[in-house]
């Protein structure tokens, strides 16, 4: 919502507040087959993408989200080679995955091709790995794709989706999670963006419950700052198929051959521990009676 003073605001009724950015220019507006996409130039945060009025990312702070959606999982897996990104149309998650030299393939399954084409135009830095020979793109329904995917064919699945409404709603359901479990090899890891730990605790409990129901035997919810999302605080929930998520490749993090802006070994270690209020909330969640770490 752009007001007459040229501030774009996203209200969050669940929290009773809003996130706002001062706007220099409205660069693009279109209605794709699936959703309404807007691109703004802000005064201090670079370009901003909004979908159906909800902020997806800004150039200034997207590294927080993209790094925490990818590196904890990839440095926890022993040898990640085959990765699928569900959603992730801005290509930032794909870029971070392909910083890992051991990854052999990364398929991005995004329902709306227009998101990716606009990211290439307005967020080119996020699309720097799009021509990597290990990258592949499928513009299709990820629910159908995962239902048809081969058993035990993947090492890591990253669900980089929008909020659980509209085209993304089915990505938060138990049947989709069951298909993800089936397609992961033993020792595989899934990561799902799980909204704000401050205001979406019920949803986090439901996500963890779906993971437990699907057969995952280790679950960790990682919290991190994200200034452009409701409450300024976000989370990614990671689950393992027959593996201990508290063990990760510390030496490889320290010796990584690429630069990060937020993620490091200390951030990884700290993110494995829940804030006390969230730990208590999840302990009492009926969907997540087991494993509240």
Residue 85 CB: number of other CB atoms within 10 A? 28
Q: Is 160 a catalytic residue?
A: yes
- 281 and 292 Cβ atoms separated by less than 8 Å: no
Q: How far is Cα 264 from Cα 72, in angstroms, rounded to an integer?
A: 9
Q: How far is Cα 90 from Cα 77, in angstroms, rounded to an integer?
A: 24
Task: Retrieve residue 21's tokens.
Answer: 């950015």
Considering the candidates 78, 160, 217, 244, report the single residue annotated as catalytic. Answer: 160
Which of 158, 174, 167, 163 lies closest to 74 in space, CA to CA? 158
- 288 and 210 Cβ atoms separated by less than 8 Å: no
CA-CA-CA-CA torsion for 106, 154, 224, 234, nearest 10 degrees? 90
212's enclosing H/E stretch is helix 201-214
Q: How far is Cα 5 from Cα 116, in angstroms, rounded to an integer?
A: 30
φ, ψ for residue 159 (rounded to 5)? -95, 95
Q: What's the DSSP call for residue 270?
A: H
Residues with a catalytic annotation lie at 160
């Amino acid at each position: 919502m752009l007001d007459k003073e040229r501030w774009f605001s996203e209200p969050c009724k669940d929290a009773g507040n809003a996130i706002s950015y001062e706007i220099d220019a409205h660069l693009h507006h279109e209605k794709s087959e699936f959703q309404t996409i807007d691109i703004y130039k802000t005064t201090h945060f670079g370009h901003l993408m909004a979908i159906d009025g909800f902020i997806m990312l800004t150039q200034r702070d997207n590294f927080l989200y993209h790094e925490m959606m990818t590196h904890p999982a990839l440095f926890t897996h022993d040898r990640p080679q085959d990765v699928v990104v569900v959603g992730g149309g801005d290509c930032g998650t794909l870029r971070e995955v392909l910083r890992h030299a051991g990854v052999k393939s990364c398929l991005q399954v995004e329902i709306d091709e227009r998101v990716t084409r606009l990211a290439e135009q307005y967020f080119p830095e996020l699309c720097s790995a799009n021509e990597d020979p290990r990258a592949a793109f499928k513009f299709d329904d990820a629910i159908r794709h995962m239902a048809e995917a081969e058993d035990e064919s993947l090492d890591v699945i990253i669900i980089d989706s929008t909020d659980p409404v509209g085209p993304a709603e089915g990505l938060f359901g138990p049947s989709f999670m069951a298909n993800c479990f089936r397609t992961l090899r033993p020792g595989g890891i899934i990561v799902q963006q799980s909204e704000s730990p401050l205001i979406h605790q019920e949803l986090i409990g439901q996500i963890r419950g779906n993971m437990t129901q699907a057969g995952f035997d280790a679950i960790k919810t990682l919290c991190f700052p994200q200034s452009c999302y409701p409450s300024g605080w976000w989370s990614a929930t990671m689950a393992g198929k027959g593996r201990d998520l508290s063990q990760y490749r510390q030496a490889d993090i320290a010796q990584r051959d690429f630069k990060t802006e937020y993620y490091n070994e200390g951030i990884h270690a700290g993110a494995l521990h829940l804030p006390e209020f969230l730990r208590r909330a999840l302990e009492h969640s009926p969907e997540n009676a087991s494993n509240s770490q």
